[in-house]
Amino acid sequence: MTVNSVKRNLSRRQLLKSIAPLAVLPFLPQRLINKASGARSTEWPILEGPETPKLCLGTSRDADIARMRMIKQLGVDYVLVGGPERPWKEEALSKIINRFESNGLKVINMMISGFPNAIYGREGRDEEIEMLQKSLRAAGNVGLPVVEYNFYAHRLTEGYYEVEGRGGAGYTGYRYESVKDLPPIPENGAYTKEVLWENLTYLLEAIIPVAEKSNVRMALHPNDPPVPLSRGNEQIMATYDDWKRLIEIVDSPSNGITYHSGVTTEIDVDAVEVCRYFGERDRINHVHYRNVVVHEPVVDYVEVFPDEGETDMFAVMKELVKQKYSFGIYPEHPRLLDYDRDHPHTHSQYPGGGGYAGFTYNVAYARAMLQAALGQ
């Protein structure tokens, strides 16, 4: 072999060695190419925007400045609050919204209640429905995006109890066996699923067209706890099929649900699958972000820290981002930490439920999940 032929072979090998990495670039994920080249795939910090989910915290509509500062200090810019006296009026709504906005917070969701006759199908329900219609028109006129509500004949909260968790933190357990035989409340009576579905249908057919015209989305919270019977009342928002049936009553994005990762796991249904089903149909109008450990589906479970339950919370967040969900995510039901035990005014109303310290953990965890999902 001559010196010139050796040089030619070396040059060929050097050339192949230099271009080999380029040959595989088309097959590498862009994030790996960016990493190899030193480029960033996503601007940092990753912030919430018009088309992203938005972390929010619940508070009183009359929250003082100190409470609003506490929320802002956690990096949360959105709140959900209870509504004013019904029927809602634009002036009252604007006063609440403007007060929060002057302190750097935006009201993303407002809860409405106060229509028992509509739930039970009793005399006076048409007047309550008219009240709801007026309230929705007022909400639309002030730009409130979401109105959340419940449709319980009765909520069986008597089954909650405190469980000791890691490091002595308080967890919230639920056991249906201890309360399943409680009698109906005399003044309310007991209602079958058929009657309650009829009453809900009557309500939705009257209010959803108004909500849609007002550019307001309604979010019906699932039964929580999702037990089949609550003091003699059958439940109509306690199963995956129930939630599907809800959105079929009136075909409108304004007729949506509060997607709940915790309740979904409690009934032994895949949380990501449910998120995808309702996200693809644009019917998720609010999100409760919570994790649980289930001992027996529906009837025996424990609410835990978001990082240790059975739900893949990152997979849920990724699905919300994939579905381009852009309303509120509430990292609810914080665990009871020692700081909150020493400051009882911050406690949750649930046994084993925490306050500000617990919310600090929940918000930080949810923020990490959201930033990671948006950064992929």
Strand pairing of 284-288 and 160-164? unpaired
Q: In degrees rounded to 5, what are phi and psi of residue 259?
A: -70, 130
26 prior amide bond cis, ω within 30: no
pLDDT number for residue 344: 74
Cβ-count burial 238-262 (b if 16+ within 10 Å, e if not): bbbebbeebbebbebbbbbbbbbbb
Q: Cα separation of 90 and 220, whole Å?
A: 23
87 prior amide bond cis, ω within 30: yes
Alpha-helix runs per DSSP H in the chain: 3-24, 30-37, 65-73, 90-101, 116-120, 125-141, 193-213, 240-249, 261-266, 271-280, 313-322, 338-341, 356-374
Single-letter code of the amino acid located at 313: M
Q: Cα separation of 325 and 53, whole Å?
A: 6
pLDDT 10s digits, 18-54: 444 444 444 445 544 444 444 445 688 888 999 999 9
Q: Of 219, 236, 240, 220, which is closest to residue 228 (Cα–Cα)?
A: 236
What does each C-alpha distance from 172 to 184, 296, 304 come to in angstroms? 25, 15, 7
**DSSP calls for 162-204:** EEE-GGG-EEEEEEGGGTTTPPPPTTT----HHHHHHHHHHHH
Q: Cα separation of 71 and 356, whole Å?
A: 9
What SS3 state is found at 81?
Answer: strand
CA 34 to chain centre: 33
What dotted CATH number matches 53-374?
Answer: 3.20.20.150
Q: Cα separation of 139 and 88, whole Å?
A: 8
pLDDT number for residue 14: 53
Judge whether 275 and 286 are in contact, CB under 8 Å. Answer: no
Q: Of 371, 222, 362, 368, which is closest to residue 304 (Cα–Cα)?
A: 362
Q: Which residues of the chain have pLDDT under 50?
A: 1-10, 13, 15-16, 18-28, 31-40
Cβ-count burial 6-30 (b if 16+ within 10 Å, e if not): eeeeeeeeeeeeeeeeeeeeeeeee
What does each C-alpha distance from 114 to 87, 93, 144, 150, 357 come to in angstroms? 10, 17, 19, 10, 32
Judge whether 335 and 165 are in contact, CB under 8 Å. Answer: yes
Single-letter code of the amino acid located at 180: K
Cβ contacts of 159 within 8 Å, gap of 6 or more: 174, 175, 176, 178, 179, 225, 227
| Domain ranges across the chain | 1-41, 53-374
Q: What is the pTM of this model?
A: 0.89
